[in-house]
Chain A
Amino acid sequence: MFLYFLTLVLMVMGLYCLIAKKNIVKKIIGIVIMEYSINLFLILIGYKKDGIAPILLKNVSVEELTSRGVDPLPQALVLTSIVIGLGTLALMVAICLRIYEKYKTFDMSKINKLKG
C-alpha cells in the first residue's frame, strides 16, 4: 500500500514540474517522470508475492506458472506504452526546437509576452 502511495508522490512531482516550471525542457522532463510513475504503478498492481516471470520454460510446468506467475496483461500494455513514450518525446522535442527557432528562448513567460 505504501509503495502505491510513493508512486503517486512521484506522479505529483512530475505534475508540479509540468505546471510550475517556466523552462520548456523542464516541462518535458516532468512529462517523462509522470510517464515513469504510471508505468511503475501498473506493474506494481500486477505483482504476485514470490512471483515468477510469465514465461514458460522447460523446467516450469503450466500448473506452477498458473499458481505463481505474475500478471501478464499490464506488462503487455506497458511494453507498448514505453515505446510510444519515446515517439511522443520526439514530437515534443521537435516542437521545442521550433519554438527555440522562433523566439530564441526556452522561457515560457517571455513567449507569452511576444505573442501576437
Chain B
Amino acid sequence: MGIILLILIAIMIIGSIVAIETKNLLSSVISCGVVGFCLSIVFLMLGAPDIAITQVVVEILILVILIRATITTDNTAIEGARDTFPYVSSLIFFGLFLIFSWFALQELPRFGEPLMRVSREYLKTGAAKTGATNIVTSVLLDFRGYDTVGEATVLFTSIIGAFVILRRKGRKEKSEADSEKFGILEDDDIKDSFEGF
C-alpha cells in the first residue's frame, strides 16, 4: 500500500516536471492530464470513491478546455533572455520552504492515524440522523449545508465572471467601425459561417 502510493506520487511528480519543462504547449497540457489521472487512482486507494469519480470526469473536461485554449493558437516555445536573479532567488526560497516544512510536518498526526474528534460523531450518528447512508453526502448537504451554499455561490460567481469577460457587447462598435472601413462581415454572419466545433 505505502509503496504503491509512493510510486504513484513519484509518477505525478515526474509528470509535472515534464508538464513544466517541455517546449510544446500541447505536450504540456497532456502531461498535466497524467498528473490528474494518477491523482484519481490515489484517491480511490485512499478510500474516497466519491472524489475519484469526480476527479476523473473533471480531468477530462479540464483537458478539453485547455486544449481548446491552445490548439489553434501559436503554441511554439517562448524563448528569451533569462534573468538569473528571479530564478536563483525563487529556488533559494523554495529550498528554505521545503526545509522548514519538513520540521513543521513532524507536528502533524502521523500518516494513517488521523485525529477524528468531530468525524467520529459523524460516522457514528450520521446515517441515523440524516437517513443518508453515504456519510460524505450527509456531511456535505446536511451537517455542513451552509458551506455547500457558499461553494455553489463561488462556482456561480466564477461562471458569471467568465461570461462577462467573454461577451461580445463591448466589441460591437469596433466591428461596425471595421466593417465600414474594410468591409468585414457582420458579427452574426461570422458566427453563422462556422460549422462545427
Interface residue ranges, A against B (CB under 8 Å): 1-10, 12-17, 19-23, 25-26, 28-30, 32-33, 36, 39-40, 43-49, 51-57, 62, 65-66, 69-73, 75-91, 93-98, 100, 105-107, 109
Considering the chains assembled together, what is the distance between the CA atoms of A8 and B2 in angstroms?
A: 17
| Partner of A10 from B9, B102, B109 at Cβ < 8 Å | B9
| B136–A72 touching, CB < 8 Å | yes
Considering the chains assembled together, what is the distance between the CA atoms of A83 and B94 in angstroms?
A: 29
27 pairs of residues in contact across A and B, judged by CB atoms under 8 Å: A1-B110, A6-B10, A10-B9, A10-B12, A13-B17, A16-B94, A17-B16, A20-B86, A25-B28, A29-B19, A29-B66, A33-B32, A44-B46, A45-B114, A48-B113, A62-B124, A65-B135, A72-B119, A76-B139, A79-B51, A83-B58, A84-B151, A85-B58, A86-B61, A87-B162, A94-B161, A107-B78
| A12–B65 touching, CB < 8 Å | no
Question: Number of B interface residues, CB 8 Å?
Answer: 86
- Chain B 66-90, CB-CB to A under 8 Å as 1, else 0, gives 1011100110001010000011001
Q: Which residues of B contact A44 (CB under 8 A)?
A: 46, 111
| A17–B20 touching, CB < 8 Å | yes
Q: Which residues of B contact A78 (CB under 8 A)?
A: 48, 51
5 additional A-B residue pairs with CB within 8 Å, beyond A54-B134, A84-B154 = A1-B111, A25-B66, A36-B39, A65-B135, A107-B80
B97 interfacial contact with A, CB 8 Å = yes
Most buried by A among B133, B144, B147: B133
B181 interfacial contact with A, CB 8 Å = no
| B65–A49 touching, CB < 8 Å | no
Contacts known (A29-B20, A53-B49); A76 close to B140, Cβ less than 8 A: yes
Within 8 A of A (CB), among B12-50: 12-13, 16-17, 19-20, 25, 28-29, 32, 35-36, 39, 42-43, 46-50
Q: Which residues of B contact A76 (CB under 8 A)?
A: 136, 139-140, 144
| B119–A71 touching, CB < 8 Å | yes
Q: Which residues of A contact B139 (CB under 8 A)?
A: 72-73, 76
Considering the chains assembled together, what is the distance between the CA atoms of A96 and B48 in angstroms?
A: 33
| B46–A54 touching, CB < 8 Å | no
| A47–B109 touching, CB < 8 Å | no
